[in-house]
Chains A and B, each alone.
Chain A
Amino acid sequence: MSAQPTVLFDAPGPRGRRNILLLNIVGVLLVVGLIVKVLVDLAQKGQLAGHLWINAINGAAWQDYLLPGLQFTLQAAAISVATSLVFGLAFGFLRLAPFAVIRWGASIIVEFLRAVPVLVMMVFLYTALAQVSRTTGAIAAEDSPYYAVIIGLTLYNGSVIAELIRSGVNGLPKGQREAASAIGMTRNQSLLLVEVPQAITAMMPSLLSQIVIIIKDSALGYLIGFYELLQYSRQLGSGQGNMLQALVVAALVFIVLNTVLTLVARWLAGRLSSRTSGATALKPGPAGSSAPHL
């Protein structure tokens, strides 16, 4: 059902090809010109000096800053993925519960958590946890940004996953549930054994792209003082006087990491489509999996 771009136009003829070639040359010239202009400006400001860049990518930079930063980014992301999954499953079930009260309660919580910006949640949790640590000493004060990031990411992404599960179950063909009740399963058994497993399989690619979102959002911790990749890069830049270079390197690390994950998600979507009766499409398609992207 997908409209291949190719049916939108004829294969270009000789004149079309010539025009395209011309356009390409102009485009490339423009892009190259812009890059040269940027580089010349940067060079004038002394930002292209070799040592600034080398200090941002040499062994010491990796060992002291980038790797520890990457470790905390990945660690916070990994833990948040697991906890959001638990949270999402729990609330996904509650939103499918047979009792309207539970359904409504869970829906209100999920909708609230989806509406509040992660950053606002993190700022609140950070301050609140600092108070908890002050009054009870249950957690170390220096860890409050870390926990604030994890809990904030969990609440937000967990509610997104809950929504994914709900819409995933609703998106399954009716026959699945009917078949389950035909062989004598209760509503709960049918949910637990037939529908949700398929919804999860169908959800896997979306879940993986959710991981990309979690990794990106963990960088918000920068604004509340969580020492992750971005914060460590700042520290590197503060010491070596190459803030810009350090940030560019951090951006590249993020891009590479997330691109790999996106590719895995795409590959998985193709592999899993045979194992569920739901749609595994990554993009929110007409079937209406309302996966928010960011």
Chain B
Amino acid sequence: MRRFRFLAATAAAGLMLTATACAPSSQGGDEGGDGETLRIGIKFDQPGLGFRAGNADPEGFDTDVARYVASELGFPEDKIEWVQTPSANRENALENGEVDMILATYSITDERKERVDFAGPYFVAGQDLLVRSDENAIKGPEDLNGKNLCSVTGSTSAQKIKDEYAEGVNLVEQAGYAECVTILEAGQVDAVTTDDIILAGLAAADANKGKFKVVGNAFTEERYGVGLPKGSDKCADINAAIEKMKEDGKWQEALDTATEGTGYEPDAELNDNAEMESCS
């Protein structure tokens, strides 16, 4: 009996160790984490903004801004450690100190500001619609009555259209925007909705080139900020880096690469006059 208990205890302890040692967070880290690195949270599955294939360099607008900001803060590219931060985990990752900053289509909102700090915004997006490139009837959310609209489970953007613009719209919820785009291409839905730059990024992906267009009639304002842990001292420096990136043209360059061939133009007025967070 005693031997059995001992065995059971050893087995349980061993299991705990295995489970912890093999957790996703401890895998695939290509950096040693010697304290000199900057850990940046991005999305890995958002073409055009933050996308990473295997261990390759991540690409997209968010990551370009992140690289620029990092180098301004004194971290060259090889000192950046990329961490995947899905939407639901962004506040947690910052509060736990798992990442030093997050650039992952992270809108500045008052609710979020209670838990994290923001620098930026480095981009002002707006909710918009993605349609097939031969579609001419849909010019804005009001035209969606009787049409089919796809969005992602748990996002409120589609419900907003139904409540405020087009009561007769049919909603489909999918696990991700890539699924929505697949359905849009096949013709079973007429539009996909979320922030315009995310839509543009999807439309600009190699596999989707020329098939879709962003309507270009954004009807909300989403200010993408750099998420920081509460009380971070980097805020002002990041704001300065963003201003500098906009001035020296690198910002426009990154944006053009990410949305190439989609005819997408961000709202210039909003982006030029974007008021930076106060970094209190």
A240 interface contact, C-beta 8 A? yes
Q: How far is the CA of A139 from the CA of B93 in the complex (A)?
A: 10
* Size bin of chain A's contact surface: 35 or more
Which of chain A's residues have a CB closer than 8 A to the CB of B92? 130, 133-134, 141, 144
A225 interface contact, C-beta 8 A? yes
A254 interface contact, C-beta 8 A? no
Most chain B C-beta atoms within 10 Å of own C-beta, residue among A141, A144, A192, A244: A141
B15 touches A130 (CB 8 A): no
Tell me which of B23, B98, B181 contacts A146 (CB under 8 A): B23
A234-B45, A241-B181 given. 17 additional CB < 8 A pairs? A64-B55, A82-B15, A86-B11, A134-B91, A134-B92, A139-B23, A141-B96, A143-B25, A225-B88, A225-B89, A234-B178, A235-B44, A237-B182, A238-B47, A238-B176, A239-B205, A241-B178
B23 touches A243 (CB 8 A): no
Which of chain A's residues have a CB closer than 8 A to the CB of B83? 142
B231 interface contact, C-beta 8 A? no
Tell me which of A45, A52, A237 contacts B178 (CB under 8 A): A237
Q: How far is the CA of A145 from the CA of B175 in the complex (A)?
A: 15
Which of chain A's residues have a CB closer than 8 A to the CB of B98? 140-142
1/0 per residue, CB under 8 A from B, across A35-59: the answer is 0000000000100000010000000
A142 touches B175 (CB 8 A): no
Tell me which of B24, B95, B177 contacts A227 (CB under 8 A): B24
> Footprint of A on B, CB under 8 Å?
1, 4, 8, 11-12, 15, 18-19, 22-25, 28, 44-47, 51, 53-56, 83-86, 88-89, 91-93, 95-98, 175-179, 181-182, 185-186, 205-208
A243 touches B24 (CB 8 A): no
A167 interface contact, C-beta 8 A? no
Tell me which of A130, A150, A239 contacts B19 (CB under 8 A): A150
- Chain A residue at minimum C-beta to C-beta distance from B4: A192
Which of chain A's residues have a CB closer than 8 A to the CB of B185? 45
Which of chain B's residues have a CB closer than 8 A to the CB of A156? none
The 4 A-B pairs at the shortest CB distance, nearest first, are namely A241-B207, A64-B54, A141-B92, A238-B178
Q: Given A64-B54, A223-B175, A142 and B95 touching (CB < 8 A)?
A: no
A101 interface contact, C-beta 8 A? no
